[in-house]
Amino acid sequence: MNLVFLPSARDDMREGFYFYEKQQAGLGAYFLDSVSADIESLTIHAGIHRRVHGAHRLLCGTFPFAVYYEVDAPNDTVKIKAVLDCRRDPKLIAAKVRGIMPSA
């Protein structure tokens, strides 16, 4: 499977990086490494995760984040829609995943 990040997902990753980097120098890079490893696992396990808000949801192992994605089987592609902090307002998460709002 090929992984494709939608622009909104890239923005989410950048936002997470800056949040954790403000907490402690180097933590942002650790966040990116950890979440990227979770996302990389989708090349093998895409489609097995529960659907939430109309997309598959992968819960990250180290940080309280979830990766929302769609599987495009005919094109052998996984589209990463959003990478969101699970501690956010559930209504905000639902709106972001459904594409109602450009960023959260």
SS3 of 62, please?
A: coil
**What pLDDT is attached to residue 104?**
41
Across the range 59-70, mean pLDDT stands at 98
Domain that holds residue 27: 2-97
Q: Which residue has the higher pLDDT, 73 or 65?
A: 65
pLDDT at 102 over 60: no
Rounded to the nearest 5 percent, the helix, strand and coil shares of the chain are 45, 25, 30
φ and ψ at residue 100, rounded to 5 degrees: -75, -30
**What pLDDT is attached to residue 99?**
85
Q: Kindly state whether residue 53 falls inside one of the protein's structural domains.
A: yes
Write the pLDDT tens digit of every residue in 20-60.
999 999 999 999 999 999 999 999 999 999 999 999 999 99
**What pLDDT is attached to residue 101?**
62
Q: Kindly state whether residue 104 falls inside one of the protein's structural domains.
A: no
Contact (Cβ atoms closer than 8 angstroms) between residue 46 and residue 5: no
Q: What is the CATH number of the domain that holds 87?
A: 3.30.2310.20
Q: Kindly state whether residue 48 falls inside one of the protein's structural domains.
A: yes
**How many domains in the chain?**
1
Q: Kindly state whether residue 102 falls inside one of the protein's structural domains.
A: no
Q: Kindly state whether residue 78 falls inside one of the protein's structural domains.
A: yes
pTM value is: 0.92
